[in-house]
């Protein structure tokens, strides 16, 4: 079994809905899923910055209460249903795929194709993907020197939970009305 622990930044209204009814799968670069910042020294700040970015982008335009809420999410999955995009052996597969196809298409389409090919090959549904992602704008402006932000921006890790049965516990870490 693989333990999944991460932070999810959202609005207070969305957090209330998540706690009452559970998460919903939303679209993203690795397909539909619940996107979490993997537990680490900056996961809380990454979740807060994600919330701020989405409020700025007006993702939650119809949401009356846009206060930030950071959720701690805990899950478990079988090794068979887990894909670590950052494992060296898998990165070689991605590089070969991009070389053979010329890397044509949108990143989300390329990822979806790679994931579908792997699922077909192993005969199992990938429930969790661990993936390096770009940090949201504004991350680290207060807490990290600019040159350190450049280093971290290329190595932040997220989990994409593609099956809601993986999630075992959700709790509020912080609510901010400011």
Q: What is the pLDDT of residues 135-167, one digit of tens each?
A: 776 666 555 555 455 555 556 889 999 999 999
User: How large is the C-alpha radius of gyration of the chain?
Assistant: 17
Please state the rounded mean pLDDT for residues 42-64.
77
Please state the rounded mean pLDDT for residues 31-42.
89
- For 173, residues 6+ apart whose C-beta sits below 8 A from its C-beta are 7, 44, 70, 71, 72
Tell whether the model's pLDDT for residue 109 goes beyond 90.
no
Is the full-model pTM beyond 0.85?
no
């Amino acid at each position: 079994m693989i333990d999944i622990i991460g932070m999810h930044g959202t609005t207070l209204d969305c957090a209330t809905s998540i706690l009452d009814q559970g998460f919903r799968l939303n679209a993203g670069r690795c397909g539909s899923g619940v996107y979490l910042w993997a537990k680490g020294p900056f996961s809380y700040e990454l979740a807060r910055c994600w919330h701020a970015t989405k409020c700025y982008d007006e993702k939650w335009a119809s949401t009356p209460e846009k206060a930030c809420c950071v959720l701690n999410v805990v899950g478990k999955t079988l090794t068979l249903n887990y894909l670590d995009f950052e494992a060296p052996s898998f990165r070689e597969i991605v590089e070969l795929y991009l070389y053979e196809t010329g890397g044509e298409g949108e990143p989300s389409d390329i990822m979806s194709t790679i994931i579908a090919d792997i699922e077909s090959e192993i005969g199992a549904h990938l429930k969790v993907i661990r993936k390096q992602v770009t940090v949201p704008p504004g991350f680290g402006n207060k807490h990290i020197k600019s040159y350190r932000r450049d280093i971290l921006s290329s190595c932040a890790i997220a989990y994409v939970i593609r099956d809601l049965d993986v999630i075992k516990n959700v709790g509020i870490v912080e609510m901010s009305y400011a």
